[in-house]
Amino acid sequence: MAKEVEIDMNLIDSVISNYGGNPESLLMILQDISDIYNYVPPEVIPVLVKRLGIRESLIYSVATFYKTISLEPRGKYIVQVCTGTACHVRGAGKVLQAIEEKLEVREGQTTRDSLFTLEAVRCVGCCASGPVITVNKETYGGLDRSSVVRVIDEYRKAAS
């Protein structure tokens, strides 16, 4: 599991204020918080309840419904492997397996050094380029076992 990070509540406050404290903006607020920390830290939940005037259960149901939002700490780099149909028939399974072997984690896990979290997702919208992975907001297509390992190596190198 990735390390928990120190949360800047002023930053959380400004995210909420960007949406005028509107409870209908809950999903966008959770997404923005996720963009900052790669997850929604638990200490943020009571703040959202108070500022948005909503029930805690609503936050949990929205956060658990959307795959892009996590309530668990995640790595610096979120590696998402598309396992949609088009990518599947082009070898997404082998790409996923190569990443699992390279990072020594299974899908859904975070590396011990908190650098990578590996996730399998459905279609990311560029099927013609499959198999496709995304690393944070970058997309890589036409991958095989060796090219995806090179992508991972690049990120590891950049982080060292």
CA 130 vs. chain centroid, Å, equals 20
Instruction: List Cβ neighbours of 88 (8 Å cut-off, separation of 6 or more).
Output: none
Q: Which of 40, 87, 133, 148 binds ligand FES (CB under 6 A)?
A: 87
Q: CA dist 90 to 39, 87, 99, 126, 149, Å? A: 31, 5, 16, 13, 17
- 45 and 128 in contact (C-beta within 8 Å)? no
- Total residues contacting ligand FES (rule CB under 6 A)? 12
Q: Which of 16, 130, 140, 148 binds ligand FES (CB under 6 A)?
A: 130
124 near ligand FES, rule: CB under 6 A: yes
Residue matched to tokens 């390390």: 3
- 152 and 75 in contact (C-beta within 8 Å)? no
86 near ligand FES, rule: CB under 6 A: yes
| Binding-site string for ligand FES from residue 24 to residue 43, where x marks contact by CB under 6 A and - marks none | --------------------
44 near ligand FES, rule: CB under 6 A: no
- 7 and 73 in contact (C-beta within 8 Å)? no
Q: CA dist 100 to 12, 42, 89, 119, 140, Å? A: 33, 28, 19, 10, 17
Minimal distance, residue 16 CB to ligand FES, in Å: 33
Minimal distance, residue 107 CB to ligand FES, in Å: 15
- Element counts in the chain: helices (H) and strands (E): 7, 4
132 near ligand FES, rule: CB under 6 A: yes
Minimal distance, residue 127 CB to ligand FES, in Å: 3
Closer to ligand FES by CB, 36 or 126: give it. 126
Stretch that binds ligand FES, among 46-54, 60-68, 126-134, 147-155 (CB under 6 A): 126-134
* Site for ligand FES, rule CB under 6 A: 82, 84-87, 123-127, 130, 132
